[in-house]
């Protein structure tokens, strides 16, 4: 398959089952909501090193938030419900509770729940108060600028993590421009996030290493500086490779984001981008397989 | 579903707590006419007091002067009960779900021991709205009560959970001995509002007649949870009231019982 002069490999991305939640962070201004959301989704690139993967899904208008203030929808992914609960407690506790004027609400119902305000209420040291409004229960925790309002629980659902594709090109600048187009297009897809910095990954990894203490190491077959070695996947026309990793609430969301990203990367690539491929483990580890040709039909 | 037309005003109190949607569902008019009612201390039948008419809608309608009818909608858990006019005591007592709408005013003890559902009163409510059964530790446990007019004394006494909205003024002891939940008074709350409350919120937008010395003035705040409540009130059709929630003076108490409740007072 070829799109705008870019070869699309006949391969697939292999992804894994995860647990996810959506949180809605509101604040007095969208700027402060961004500060809180950016903080809570920092150091959240990979479950291997961070214990969770997280990212900003989108900004919310005042009509879309529970308290009528500007807000941000954040998606958080972890390998289990317990790990998700720990991530939610730590991230909201350290990055949202602490951020001026914020409130935090559940953004999905899901088939299970993890504690949100229920885990943080003790910060109120006995002065916290539960408040049920309609069918939802909140905690009001006194803080120095007023009250931190936080929903009692947030929903958790099965999700998909690790969708990916790699962009290979003749120059770093050309690949970067294509990757930025891809990330921008993928940010418009609901229910999906790209957890790495700016949505892009330069340090794609493989499972294991020659060191016993290191469970993952550089994806040397795709490192251009190692071209010519036995395992190299990089041809003579490739000087740079960037990857985008996608987590989504559903398999469809991951597939839609991948398709949007690949199309945007190829559009107007002007020969800078030569090839797009995807990472997998032979299909033996992850239950979700995203075949590039099928996604782009 | 069914329309029940009261034939005449009963000479004494008539308890009609059996006339609820789940009890009448699937019954023919003849079967409904045989259901028992309690007139004073006598057992009587529906047919003695009501003319039963089948209707197309899913609502049970009760038509007539119902001021001597007590426990209307008592124990109801689903469906809709509509009453044209005033009703007697204990409207919706022990109600668990569904909707009761009355076009007039309700007597003493509406929503007593209520556990769910929505109770809408277009007129006024008597004393002990959302209160407790005699001897019970807690009053209303859940649900929503909307009174367009004023309420008598002791509205929300021992309220444990749920929302009571009073469109006019509330009498004395509103929210007294409250355990949790929310009472919103669009008008003025009488004296001793929140007396001996432990938790929960009494929101008196038109002020409180006299705030007891065991409440501490915490200053004026624009609390975020009031925005959540405002959104909820909007879904209940109370847009005008919703716009008034904000910038209220917070009094915490009642310290006389070691309580951590709040009076949120306007003006």
| pLDDT tens digit sequence for B203-221 | 999 999 999 999 999 999 9
Q: Are residues A95 and A128 in the same domain?
A: yes
Please report residues of A whose CB lies closer than 8 A to that of B161: 132
Q: Give, for A207, the enclosing helix (H) or strand (E).
A: strand A205-207
In chain B the first and final C-alpha atoms are separated, in Å, by 47
How far apart CA B148 and CA B127 sit, in angstroms, is: 15
| End position of a domain, from candidates A112, A142, A157 | A157
Asked if A147 and B223 come within 8 Å (Cβ–Cβ), the reply is yes
Distances (CA, A) of B196 to B127, B180, B185, B253, B260: 18, 12, 18, 8, 10
CA distance B195 to chain A (A): 19
Place of tokens 């769910």: B116
CA distance B227 to chain A (A): 5
Per DSSP bridges, beta strands B142-147 and B163-166 are parallel
Please report residues of B whose CB lies closer than 8 A to that of A69: 227
pLDDT of B56 = 78
Query: Does residue B65 contact residue B86 with C-beta atoms inside 8 Å?
Result: yes
Please report residues of A whose CB lies closer than 8 A to that of B182: 131, 133
Place of tokens 């807690």: B138
How far apart CA A96 and CA A24 sit, in angstroms, is: 11
Asked if A131 and B182 come within 8 Å (Cβ–Cβ), the reply is yes
How far apart CA B30 and CA A10 sit, in angstroms, is: 74
Chain-centroid distance, C-alpha A23: 13
Q: Are residues A188 and A234 in the same domain?
A: yes
pLDDT band per the 50, 70, 90 thresholds, residue B55: confident
Asked if A138 and B225 come within 8 Å (Cβ–Cβ), the reply is yes
Asked if A131 and B201 come within 8 Å (Cβ–Cβ), the reply is yes
Asked if A134 and B232 come within 8 Å (Cβ–Cβ), the reply is yes
Asked if A67 and B260 come within 8 Å (Cβ–Cβ), the reply is no
Q: Are residues A179 and A272 in the same domain?
A: yes
CA distance A65 to chain B (A): 10
Mean pLDDT by 10 residues, chain A (297 residues): 94 97 98 98 94 97 96 98 97 98 96 96 96 96 97 98 96 96 97 97 92 92 89 92 98 98 92 94 89 95
pLDDT of A282 = 85
pLDDT of A139 = 98
- Helices A172-186, A251-266: axis angle to 10 degrees equals 140
How far apart CA B221 and CA B162 sit, in angstroms, is: 23
Please report residues of B whose CB lies closer than 8 A to that of A134: 232, 235
Q: Give, for B250, the enclosing helix (H) or strand (E).
A: strand B248-253
Whether the CA torsion A191, A196, A200, A201 is positive or negative: it is: negative
Q: Determine the longest span between alpha carbons in chain B, in angstroms.
A: 62
Q: Are residues A153 and A176 in the same domain?
A: no
Q: Give, for A3, the enclosing helix (H) or strand (E).
A: strand A2-3
pLDDT of A285 = 79
ipTM of the complex: 0.92
**Interface residues on B facing A, Cβ-Cβ cutoff 8 A:** 161-163, 180-182, 199, 201, 221-225, 227-232, 235, 260
CA distance A106 to chain B (A): 13
> Within A187-244, where are the H helices?
none
**Interface residues on A facing B, Cβ-Cβ cutoff 8 A:** 66-69, 103, 127, 129-134, 138, 140, 146-147, 149
pLDDT band per the 50, 70, 90 thresholds, residue B131: very high
Q: Are residues A221 and A187 in the same domain?
A: yes
Inter-chain contacts counted by CB atoms under 8 A, chains A and B: 45
pLDDT exceeds 80 at position B8: yes
Count other Cβ atoms within 10 Å, centred on residue B110. 35
Domain with A117 in it: what CATH number?
3.30.70.520
Domain of residue A253: give its range: 2-14+161-295
* Nearby residues of B7 by Cβ (< 8 Å), 6 or more positions away: B49, B50, B51, B64
Q: What is the mean pLDDT of residues B177-199?
A: 97
pLDDT exceeds 80 at position B267: no
Q: Are residues A133 and A182 in the same domain?
A: no
Distances (CA, A) of B118 to A83, B130, B211: 39, 12, 30
Q: Which of A2, A7, A279, A296 shows the shortest CA–CA distance to A170?
A: A7
Asked if B199 and A149 come within 8 Å (Cβ–Cβ), the reply is no
| End position of a domain, from candidates A141, A157, A173 | A157
Q: Which of A148, A158, A132, A138 shows the shortest CA–CA distance to A100?
A: A148
CA distance B242 to chain A (A): 12
pLDDT of A176 = 97
CA distance A57 to chain B (A): 23
Average pLDDT, chain B: 95
Domain total of chain A: 2
The beta-carbon neighbor of A147 closest among B201, B224, B260 is B224
Chain-centroid distance, C-alpha B22: 21
pLDDT of A270 = 78
B42-52 per-position pLDDT tens digit: 999 999 999 99
Q: What is the mean pLDDT of residues B68-76?
A: 96
Please report residues of B whose CB lies closer than 8 A to that of A135: none
Q: Which of A117, A156, A158, A159 shows the shortest CA–CA distance to A136?
A: A117
Asked if A131 and B225 come within 8 Å (Cβ–Cβ), the reply is yes
Place of tokens 């559940």: A106
Domain map (residue ranges) of chain B: 1-65, 71-265
CA distance B175 to chain A (A): 16
pLDDT of B17 = 87
Burial grade of B39 (CB within 10 A; 0-12, 13-18, 19 or more): middle
Tell me the backbone φ, ψ of residue A101, rounded to 5 degrees.
75, 5
Tell me the backbone φ, ψ of residue A153, rounded to 5 degrees.
-135, 160
Chain B: residue nearest A138 by CA?
A: B225
Please report residues of B whose CB lies closer than 8 A to that of A138: 225, 228
Asked if A68 and B182 come within 8 Å (Cβ–Cβ), the reply is no
**Residue A71 structure tokens:** 């807000």
Query: Does residue B57 contact residue B3 with C-beta atoms inside 8 Å?
Result: no
How far apart CA B21 and CA B28 sit, in angstroms, is: 13
Q: Which of A70, A131, A141 to mutate to test the interface with B (most CBs of B within 10 A)?
A: A131
Whether the CA torsion A31, A35, A40, A43 is positive or negative: it is: positive
Count other Cβ atoms within 10 Å, centred on residue B237. 11
CA atoms within 13 A on the CB side of A248: 24
Whether the CA torsion A167, A171, A175, A176 is positive or negative: it is: positive
Please report residues of B whose CB lies closer than 8 A to that of A66: 228, 231
Asked if B260 and A147 come within 8 Å (Cβ–Cβ), the reply is no
Asked if B228 and A133 come within 8 Å (Cβ–Cβ), the reply is yes
Q: Which of A117, A134, A137, A152 to mutate to test the interface with B (most CBs of B within 10 A)?
A: A134
Mapped onto helix, strand or coil, the DSSP state of residue B47 is helix
Q: Are residues A82 and A183 in the same domain?
A: no
The beta-carbon neighbor of B228 closest among A66, A127, A130 is A66
Chain A: residue nearest B180 by CA?
A: A131
| End position of a domain, from candidates A107, A122, A157 | A157
pLDDT of B18 = 87
Query: Does residue A276 contact residue A12 with C-beta atoms inside 8 Å?
Result: no
Q: What is the mean pLDDT of residues B71-81?
A: 95
Q: Are residues A144 and A198 in the same domain?
A: no
B220-262 per-position pLDDT tens digit: 999 999 999 999 999 999 999 999 998 999 999 999 999 999 9
Q: Are residues A226 and A114 in the same domain?
A: no
Question: What fold characterizes domain B71-265?
Answer: Pectate Lyase C-like (2.160.20)
| DSSP-derived secondary structure for A146-187 | EEEEEESEEEEEEEEEEEEEEEEESSHHHHHHHHHHHHHHHT
Mapped onto helix, strand or coil, the DSSP state of residue A49 is helix
């Amino acid at each position: 398959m070829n799109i705008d002069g870019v070869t699309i490999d006949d391969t697939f991305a292999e992804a894994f089952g995860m647990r996810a939640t959506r949180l809605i962070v509101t604040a007095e201004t969208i700027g402060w909501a961004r500060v809180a959301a950016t903080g809570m989704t920092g150091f959240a690139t990979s479950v291997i090193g961070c214990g969770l993967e997280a990212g900003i899904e989108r900004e919310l208008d005042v009509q879309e938030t529970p308290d009528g203030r500007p807000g941000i929808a954040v998606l958080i992914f972890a390998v289990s419900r317990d790990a998700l609960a720990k991530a939610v407690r730590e991230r909201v506790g350290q990055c949202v509770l602490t951020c001026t004027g914020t409130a935090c609400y559940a953004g999905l119902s899901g088939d299970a729940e993890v504690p949100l305000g229920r885990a943080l209420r003790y910060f109120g040291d006995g002065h916290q108060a539960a408040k049920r409004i309609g069918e939802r229960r909140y905690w009001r925790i006194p803080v120095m600028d007023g009250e931190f309002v936080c929903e009692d629980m947030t929903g958790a659902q099965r999700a998909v993590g690790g969708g990916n594709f790699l962009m290979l090109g003749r120059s770093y600048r050309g690949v970067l421009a294509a990757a930025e187009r891809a990330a921008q297009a993928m940010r418009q897809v609901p229910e999906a996030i790209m957890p790495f910095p700016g949505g892009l990954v330069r340090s794609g990894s493989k499972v294991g290493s020659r060191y016993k203490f290191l469970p993952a190491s550089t994806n040397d077959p795709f490192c251009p500086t190692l071209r010519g070695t036995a395992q190299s996947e990089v041809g003579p026309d490739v000087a740079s490779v960037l990857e985008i990793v996608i987590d989504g609430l559903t398999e469809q969301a991951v597939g839609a984001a991948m398709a949007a990203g690949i199309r945007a990367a190829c559009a107007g690539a002007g020969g800078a981008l030569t090839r797009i491929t995807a990472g997998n483990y032979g299909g033996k580890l992850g239950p979700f397989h995203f075949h590039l040709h099928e996604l782009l039909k | 579903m069914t329309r029940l037309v009261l034939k005449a005003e009963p000479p004494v109190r008539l308890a009609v707590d059996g006339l609820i949607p789940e009890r009448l569902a699937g019954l023919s008019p003849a079967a409904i006419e045989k259901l028992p009612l309690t007139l004073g201390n006598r057992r009587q039948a529906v047919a003695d007091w009501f003319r039963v008419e089948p209707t197309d809608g899913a609502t049970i309608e009760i038509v007539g002067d119902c001021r001597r009818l007590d426990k209307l909608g008592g124990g109801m858990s689903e469906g809709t009960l509509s009453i044209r006019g005033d009703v007697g005591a204990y409207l919706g007592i022990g109600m668990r779900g569904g909707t009761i709408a009355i076009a007039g005013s309700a007597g003493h003890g509406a929503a007593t021991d209520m556990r769910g559902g929505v109770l809408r009163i277009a007129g006024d409510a008597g004393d002990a709205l959302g209160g407790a059964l005699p001897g019970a530790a807690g009053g209303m446990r859940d649900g929503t009560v909307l009174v367009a007019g004023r309420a008598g004394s002791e509205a929300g006494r021992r309220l444990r959970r749920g929302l009571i909205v009073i469109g006019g003024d509330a009498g004395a002891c509103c929210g007294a001995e409250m355990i949790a939940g929310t009472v919103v008074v669009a008008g003025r709350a009488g004296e001793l509002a929140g007396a001996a409350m432990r938790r929960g919120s009494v929101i008196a937008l038109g002020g409180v007649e006299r705030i007891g010395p065991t409440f501490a003035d915490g200053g004026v705040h624009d609390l975020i949870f009031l925005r959540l409540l405002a959104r909820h009130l909007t879904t209940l059709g109370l847009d005008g009231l919703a716009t008034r929630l904000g910038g209220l003076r917070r009094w915490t108490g009642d310290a006389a019982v070691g309580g951590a409740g709040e009076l949120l007072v306007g003006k």
